[in-house]
Copies of this chain bind each other. A is one copy, B any other.
Amino acid sequence: MNYKIDNLQYCKWSREVFQINRDAGLDAVHVTIVYHENYDEFLQRIKEWNKLFEENSDLIYLGKDYKDIEKAKIEKKTAIFFGFQNCSPIEDDIGLVEKVYQQGCRFMQLTYNNQSLLATGCYEKTDSGVTNFGKEVIKEMNNLGIVIDMSHSAEKSTLDAIEISKKPIAITHANPSFWYKAKRNKSKTLLKKLSESQGMLGFSLYPHHLKDNTNCSLESFCDMIARTAEIMGVKNLGIGSDLCLNQPDSVVNWMRNGTWTKTKNYGEGSTQNPGFPEQPEWFKDARGFKNLENGLIKVGFNKNEVNGILGNNWFNFYKEIK
């Protein structure tokens, strides 16, 4: 059985988007449900999702473990797995980790660009690694079955997380920096350590993580995956598209600035290019998985490997979460 999984999307959720994901054949999507929301605001997001599940029950449902991906395949639906891009919902309270797990959280980034109470983000000048509280939270996440996601974290923090966590961690959406040197992309050293610990890398289709941005070619992207496989092997690679379909630019502003600054921070953008960047032609939305399939075959992966990258590897990872 082959599964198709996009392990990171943050779209403006609507029936249209769920339909596109189904058209793309996605059996599971890890969706970002919060950035900087605190616990109460997170509960609000849960309410909104409950409404979405109710109104679109023919297309989606809440995924809790890998069996829900198997079920989705059979029912031709998409299992939705909740994730956080920042640890804000647990505030400073170890007790809230279990609460968010009970509400469906299965992935949590320890930090989003800036320093958090748990670890350092990739936009800070100095990276002190996983904090005292961070160590406690990792233990709790391991026990419950929440994946540690270090996509937006700095290098030492990520290496710490790999070492401290008893379970493999994930970088759900980023690319290697040998291909394109972005603050968010990851070093060879780190990718090697990640794969040695059975951790997963989800390749990002967000233009700011791509060589040549919007103009990145499918060939270049797939060639980059082939070169990453030489470092990490082919079993720890997947897709985490970072698709932000239909989101207004106000959302990217929230992602970057939260409530932490009175001046405006442009993150990976700039004053000239402050909004969401345009997707490459060959990956406008999840239906681009078909193009990835062709592109990956072209750079020399066999059918089995391609199926791994497009979903089976993530599926196997989900099987080991708890």
Contact = CB atoms under 8 A, between A and B. Distances in A.
Nearest to A257: B94
Interface string A107-142: 000000011110010011111110111101000100
Interface in A264-314: none
A16 interface: no
Contacts of A189: none
A250 interface: no
Contact of A115 (B38, B88, B133): B133
A38 to B, nearest CB: 7
Contacts of A156: 126
A259 B93 contact: yes
A128 B115 contact: yes
A125 B127 CA distance: 12
Identical subunits present: 2
Nearest to A127: B128
Q: How big is the A interface, by class?
A: 20 to 34
Contacts of A115: 115, 117, 128, 131-134
Contacts of A133: 114-115, 260-261
21 contacts: A36-B92, A92-B258, A92-B260, A93-B259, A94-B259, A94-B261, A94-B262, A114-B117, A115-B131, A115-B133, A115-B134, A116-B117, A120-B128, A123-B132, A125-B128, A125-B129, A128-B128, A132-B260, A133-B260, A136-B260, A140-B262
Contact of A129 (B95, B116, B126): B126
Given A116-B117, A259-B92, A128 B136 contact: no
Among A117, A129, A259, A260: residue with most chain B CB under 10 A? A260
Nearest to A131: B115
A70 interface: no
A118 B35 CA distance: 18
A223 interface: no
